[in-house]
């Protein structure tokens, strides 16, 4: 991973280690300074080479400072003119590819992409500001969504893109619009999907009955949504369920909740989906203990908009989703050829 690129505005904190901090861990010492952020954020500053001890770059957060050491910290600053979001150094970014134009990262579940009611400074956008600074992020989506190219739902995990300037942001969004940015998801759905592959093409609009939900519609105002899928593995029915199917979904459009809405539409809601699941007590029992949808962005591939280099990233399932499949292992009816091909890339 490339080191963090700080905004042009920085401040320096200089501190002399006194008797009370002799032999203290470096990250703990930094966190005790009034102008420094949290301990985890201080550890990130050390990792990024922003801390020196007696003029020499610190290399480990567990390094011990001793009486008389002079410690200097380079702290990135954001002026009011640079943007409205507070940088959040406490959110870890799992970066899979980065250069001066863009980032491919793996978003963890339970992380909101940008500020919304109830989520002001604990979002991916806040973490991107901390990592890059406002002047190194595309602003085409607005100052409250710096760098964001496309979204993942809060409880969807996996790969997504961020852009470091407006031109790259526009180019990546054009790739999505032209349907040449290859995005693939793994999802476990309720029931036995008989087809090995299929295409779902519908209109999608916001539900007039529940503004939190999207719905399939033939309304002229509905936006076209296209999802193709391949069945990777099927699981036999148990005493409290109708079986399960593991699918790979390929997005050709990027509508809100698209895969979740399409799976519900064909009668196979996503396991763990609290919004589009059936909602009965029996359905909750069939969710295999998940409290978030089994949906993971496992693959992105595209031609770099500046270098034309082919960028391909893969991301294996996180622990909670892997444990669900492990629990179904004894009920497996075998993987399809497509399933074997996918698992060979992420095993």
Number of H helices, E strands in the chain: 8, 17
Question: Are 58 and 46 within 8 A, CB to CB?
Answer: yes
Helix (H, G, I), strand (E, B) or coil at 339: helix
Residue 100 contacts residue 164 (beta carbons within 8 Å)? yes
256 CB-near residues (< 8 Å, 6+ apart): 204, 206, 214
Question: Which one from 20, 94, 135, 153 is the annotated catalytic residue?
Answer: 153
Of 320, 303, 321, nearest to 312 by C-alpha is: 303
**What CA–CA distances, in Å, run from 209 to 206, 212, 215?**
9, 9, 10
Can you read off the two tokens belonging to residue 2? Answer: 């490339």
Three-state secondary structure call for residue 218 = coil
Catalytic residue flag (residue 92): no
- The two three-digit tokens of residue 140, written as one number: 């085409």
Query: How many residues are recorded in the chain?
Result: 347
Distances (CA, A) of 194 to 85, 235, 247, 254: 47, 12, 11, 26
DSSP-based three-state secondary structure for 177: helix
CA atoms within 13 A on the CB side of 269: 17
Angstrom CA distances, 318 to 106, 156, 178, 329, stand at 10, 11, 30, 17
Q: Select from 280, 288, 267, 318 the least CA-distant residue to 156.
A: 318
Write the DSSP assignment of 103-152 as a string of letters.
EEEEEPTT--SS-BTTBSSSSHHHHHHHHH-GGGS--TT-TTSTTBSS--
Contact call for residues 11 and 75 (beta carbons, < 8 A) = yes
Which residues participate in catalysis according to the annotation? Answer: 153
């Amino acid at each position: 991973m490339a080191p963090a690129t700080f905004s042009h505005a920085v401040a320096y904190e200089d501190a002399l280690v006194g008797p009370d901090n002799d032999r203290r861990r470096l990250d703990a010492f930094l966190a005790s300074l009034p102008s420094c952020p949290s301990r985890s954020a201080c550890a990130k500053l050390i990792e990024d080479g922003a801390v020196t001890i007696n003029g020499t770059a610190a290399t480990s957060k567990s390094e011990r400072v001793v009486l008389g050491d002079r410690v200097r910290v380079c702290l990135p600053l954001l002026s009011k003119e640079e943007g409205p979001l507070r940088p959040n150094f406490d959110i870890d970014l799992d970066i899979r590819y980065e250069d001066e134009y863009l980032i491919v990262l793996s978003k963890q579940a339970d992380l909101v992409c940008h500020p919304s009611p109830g989520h002001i400074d604990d979002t991916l956008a806040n973490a991107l500001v901390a990592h890059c600074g406002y002047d190194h992020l595309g602003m085409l989506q607005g100052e409250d969504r710096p760098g964001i190219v496309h979204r993942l739902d809060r409880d969807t995990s996996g790969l997504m893109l961020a852009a470091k300037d407006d031109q790259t942001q526009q180019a990546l969004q054009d790739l999505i619009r032209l349907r040449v940015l290859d995005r693939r998801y793994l999802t476990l759905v309720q029931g036995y999907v008989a087809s090995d592959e299929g295409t779902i093409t519908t209109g999608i609009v916001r539900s007039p009955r529940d503004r939190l939900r999207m719905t399939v519609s033939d309304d002229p105002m509905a936006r076209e949504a296209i999802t193709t899928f391949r069945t990777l593995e099927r699981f036999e029915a148990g005493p409290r369920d109708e079986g399960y199917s593991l699918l790979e979904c390929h997005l050709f459009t990027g509508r809100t909740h698209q895969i979740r809405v399409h799976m519900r539409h064909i009668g196979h809601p996503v396991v763990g989906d609290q919004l589009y699941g059936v909602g009965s007590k029996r359905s909750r029992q069939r969710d295999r203990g998940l409290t978030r949808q089994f949906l993971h962005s496992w693959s992105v591939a595209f031609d770099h908009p500046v270098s034309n280099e082919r960028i391909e990233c893969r991301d294996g399932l996180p622990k909670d989703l892997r444990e669900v499949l492990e629990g179904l292992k004894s009920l497996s009816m075998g993987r399809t050829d497509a399933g074997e091909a996918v698992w060979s890339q992420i095993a």
